Amino acid sequence: MSGRADAAAPRRGLKVAMHVDGPSVRGNERQSLLVAEELLERGHRLVVSCRERGPVRDAFAALGIPTTGARPRGDLDPWSAGRFIAWLRRERPDAALLTSWVRLLGAGWSARRAGVPRIVLRLGAVQPIPAGVEGWKHRRSLTRYTDAVVANSRAVRDHLLAAVPGLAPEAVYYVPNGVRLRPAPPAPLRAELRIPPDALLAAGVGGLERRKGFDVLVSALAHAADPGLHVVLAGEGPDREALRARAESLGVADRVHLLGQRADVAAVLAASDVFVLSSRSEGMSVAMLEAATARRPVVSTDVGGAWDVLAPREGRPPAGWIVPPDDAPALAAALAEVAGGLRAGGGAVAARVDEAAWRLEHWFSVERMIDGVEAALLGLPFGLLGAA
């Protein structure tokens, strides 16, 4: 698969109102910041609705982008919706780029009421659409209050088209994530954590929550029976103590290292030997792409965009290792294979790392991602060969 715009997006300057709802800078927020930065580079203007204070607002302000705390806060909060509508009417954007699934109804309805000419949702994960009122709310939002959806993996695209009758295929843009990882020297993790210099580090990045499957990774470490293999987890979340307790109960507490929230993810990846995506559900993991950019072998559960990035396809060899979700023995076997390959000289592992690097350049570049986002904002067709 190679990507191309079906029609080159004209480089006239759009004014884009972006809504970002997250309280901290994680995967979705990092991608939103990258999209914003690249749109600015192409001559577009941006204004951002986000939380009034905090790291997200600060990160957009550092790019010179005006922000507002006027944002939709809930489906039954007319005051916040009114403030958001008033802000949109003052700014008069050519398009709105929404990035929150939870706030889609309020944000989409408000943008429609404000008269925004084009409303685009950027969706980064497979979101279940339940029966009842909740399901009706999301289906209505997708078919009436958005003009296009940017899906960052085939899994997200296919799920939407199957789950939402009336959603036109041409309105769902398959636009894989792109990453631009700034090189960083390795973090001194072995020294900080008193890990032997010949140990192998398996890194996970993300919130410490059930969806990320770090409990499965801890169990896999116990199954792997390799005393030289350590796991480092960069992130914070509600499952921290539960993960620590699991590691202790399995006898691997001395090889599971919870790093907390890290601002130096690139340095953590550079210090690791293998990256593990253990998620139970995912869109297209930014951390996985960043690890591939850092030329680290990737072991991933078969979720979201993992197939797009790692599977043998289009006549190309595999670019990593894919295992079933929630399967600690399978994850342990893949980690053992990578560890064995690295200790044997790394030739077989290097072949997959090289393939991942080729795919990043040809299939998952930042430029191609922004081509797709631009096309969605402008209402132009955009295609990726092999995407159907």
Query: In 10 A of CB 260, how many CB atoms?
Result: 10
User: Would you say residue 6 has pLDDT above 80?
Assistant: no
Q: What pLDDT does residue 34 have?
A: 94
* Whether residues 320 and 376 fall in one domain: no
State the residue range of the domain holding 71: 3-178+365-384
The confidence score (pLDDT) of residue 284 equals: 86
What does the block give as tokens for 260? 């907390």
Query: pLDDT of 123-143, one tens digit each?
Result: 988 888 988 988 999 999 999
Q: Which residue type occupies 260? A: G
Contacts of 90 (CB under 8 A, 6+ apart): none
* Rounded distance between C-alpha atoms, residue 179 and residue 147, angstroms: 26
Q: Are residues 329 and 377 in the same domain?
A: no
Q: Measured between alpha carbons, how far is 182 from 162 in angstroms, rounded to an integer?
A: 38
Same domain, 154 and 250: no
Q: Are residues 124 and 257 in the same domain?
A: no
Looking at the fold, whether 358 and 370 belong to one and the same domain comes out as no
Containing H/E element for 233?
strand 229-234
d(CA 247, CA 361): 38
Mean pLDDT of 338-349: 91
In a domain, 183, yes or no: no
Same domain, yes or no, for 311 and 333? yes
For 256, other C-beta atoms within 10 Å of its C-beta total 21
Could you give the CA distance from residue 26 to residue 155 in angstroms, rounded to a whole number?
21
Q: Where does the pLDDT of residue 119 fall: very low under 50, low under 70, confident under 90, or very high at 90 and above?
A: very high
Tell me if 184 is assigned to some domain.
no
Helices 104-113 and 132-144: crossing angle, nearest 10°? 40
Widest distance between CA atoms in the chain: 63
Average of per-residue pLDDT values in the chain = 92
Residue 86 or residue 305, greater confidence = 86
d(CA 302, CA 125): 13
The first and second tokens of residue 217, run together, are 């990774």
Task: Calculate mean pLDDT across residues 182-199.
Answer: 91
Domain identity same for 358 and 376: no
Q: Residue 388 above 80 pLDDT?
A: no
The answer to whether residue 171 is domain-embedded is yes
Residues 27, 113: one domain?
yes
How many angstroms separate the CA atoms of 223 and 220, rounded? 5
On whether residue 207 sits in a domain, the answer given is yes
Same domain? For 101 and 87 the reply is: yes
Q: How many Cβ atoms sit within 10 Å of the Cβ of residue 308?
A: 22
Residue 4 has pLDDT above 70, yes or no: no
- Do 274 and 148 lie in one domain? The reply is no
> What average pLDDT score do residues 140-155 get?
94
Which residue in the block uniquely carries the two structure tokens 């993960």? Answer: 243
Mean pLDDT of 4-25: 74
Q: What is the mean pLDDT of residues 146-151?
A: 96
Q: Does 2 score more than 80 pLDDT?
A: no
Residue pointed to by tokens 């969806």: 211
The mean pLDDT value for 14-19 works out to 98
User: What pTM, to 2 d.p., does this model score?
Assistant: 0.81
Domain count along the chain: 2
- The residue count of the chain comes to 388
Q: Which of 105, 166, 101 is nearest to 133 (CA)?
A: 105
Q: Is 90 exceeded by the pLDDT of residue 12?
A: no
* Mean pLDDT, residues 315-330: 97
- How far is residue 206's CA from residue 35's CA, in Å, rounded to a whole number? 20
| 58 plus 198 within the same structural domain | no
pLDDT at position 5 = 40
The pLDDT value recorded for residue 76 is: 83
Q: Count how many Cα atoms sit within 13 Å of the Cα of residue 37 in the half-sphere of its side chain.
A: 16
Cα gap 364→1, rounded to integer Å: 10
Any domain includes 77? yes
Residue 10 has pLDDT above 60, yes or no: no
Does one domain contain both 81 and 211?
Answer: no
Cα torsion through 129, 135, 141, 143, rounded to 10: 80
Instruction: State how far the alpha carbon of 61 is from the alpha carbons of 33, 42, 55, 262, 282, in Å.
Output: 10, 18, 10, 21, 29
**What span, in angstroms and rounded, lies between the C-alpha atoms of 30 and 19?**
14
Q: Residue 17's closest CA among 105, 108, 102?
A: 108
CATH number at residue 281: 3.40.50.2000
Asked whether the beta carbons of 121 and 115 are under 8 A apart, the reply is: no
